[in-house]
Amino acid sequence: MAKITAKQVKELRDRTGAGMMDSKNALVKADGSIEKAIDILRENGVAKAAKKSGRIAAEGLAEYAIDGNTAAVVEVNSETDFVSSNDKFIKLVNDITKAILAAKPANVKEALKAPLADGTIQDAITNLTAVVGEKITLRRFDIITKNDDEVFGAYKHNGGAIVSVVTMKGGNEKAARNIAMHVAAINPEYLNKDSVPAADLKRQTDVFTKETENEGKPAKIVPKIVKGRVNKYLSEICLVDQPYVKDSDKTVAEYAKSKNGEVVAYTRYEVGEGIEKKQEDFATEVKEQMK
């Protein structure tokens, strides 16, 4: 049996809103697995939903650049927000983004060799590191391409805490940007239902089935209830099925259609995703700004 720590119990409580003993008992049954414990809590009706584990631990900026049918989204990290708000750091991130857009490297290692000013991206990072006294890192980037009948819409929140780029077939740049703002605010997990991995869908279906059975529902109506819960779950995690944040009477797909468009892709960067630190609720900030 795995040893259950107070840290695990706290994380489970934070993600599910369940009580201390419920969380601890679920972790014991799950042999210490947070994800399995979440399923156990949900099956027993203790937790109706679980927040994604989004612990964030790096400072820095995300940025985007667009040139015709190509866009680049980049994240550069620093150790403190003092440096990330420095004008020289901001310029470096802008320059790196444009350099990556021009060079279209295959990976970070290749990107660091891309030309920038009188040297390379790596040279520019090394030079600024020497000036500010902090480690600066090119963490990740994406190169996005589109067809001539498609448009990009981009949004940057809080100077670069979140950057999102949406590709829309048809429509217009303003509509695509509005959807990019939605992506920044809501943080969808998938584009549409077809994008959800089969294993994830099966797991959720199994959880909803056990949850419904544990509620004592008649066996003959369990499949119908489960189907409804699965569809609701998918509408919460899939971009095109989510209620559009600026008009909840429409889904994102319906909003796009009203602008003669269809969302075909999106990219969202939040600085420091997946690295532990105090989490700022940027998504809520975006929602407030959109009201």
Q: In the predicted model, is pLDDT for residue 279 greater than 60?
A: no
- Give me 217's structure tokens: 């529902």
73 and 137, same domain (yes or no): yes
94 and 34, same domain (yes or no): no
24 and 154, same domain (yes or no): no
Cα–Cα distance, 68 to 72 (Å, whole number) = 11
Its pTM stands at 0.76
1 and 49, same domain (yes or no): yes
pLDDT digits (tens, 9 = 90+) for 96-112: 999 999 999 999 999 99
253 and 282, same domain (yes or no): yes
Per-residue pLDDT band for 268 (boundaries 50, 70, 90) equals very high
Q: Look-up: residue for tokens 């989204």?
A: 73
Is 28 a member of any domain?
yes
Q: In the predicted model, is pLDDT for residue 44 greater than 70?
A: yes
Bridge partners of 273?
Answer: 56
- The C-alpha R_g of the chain, in whole angstroms, comes to 22
Cα–Cα distance, 267 to 188 (Å, whole number) = 10
Q: What is the extent of the structural domain holding 127?
A: 59-191+244-290
Which carries the bigger pLDDT value, residue 46 or residue 235?
235
5 and 66, same domain (yes or no): no
CATH assignment at residue 94: 3.30.479.20
Nearest Cα to Cα of residue 167 among 243, 267, 236: 267
280 and 161, same domain (yes or no): yes
Cβ atoms of 287 and 93 closer than 8 Å: no
Q: Look-up: residue for tokens 């090394």?
A: 126
**What's the average model confidence in pLDDT over 61-78?**
97
Is 218 a member of any domain?
no
| Identity of the amino acid at 80 | T
44 and 67, same domain (yes or no): no
Number of domains comprising the chain = 2
Q: In the predicted model, is pLDDT for residue 277 greater than 60?
A: no
76 and 105, same domain (yes or no): yes
Report the percent of the chain where pLDDT is more than 70: 90
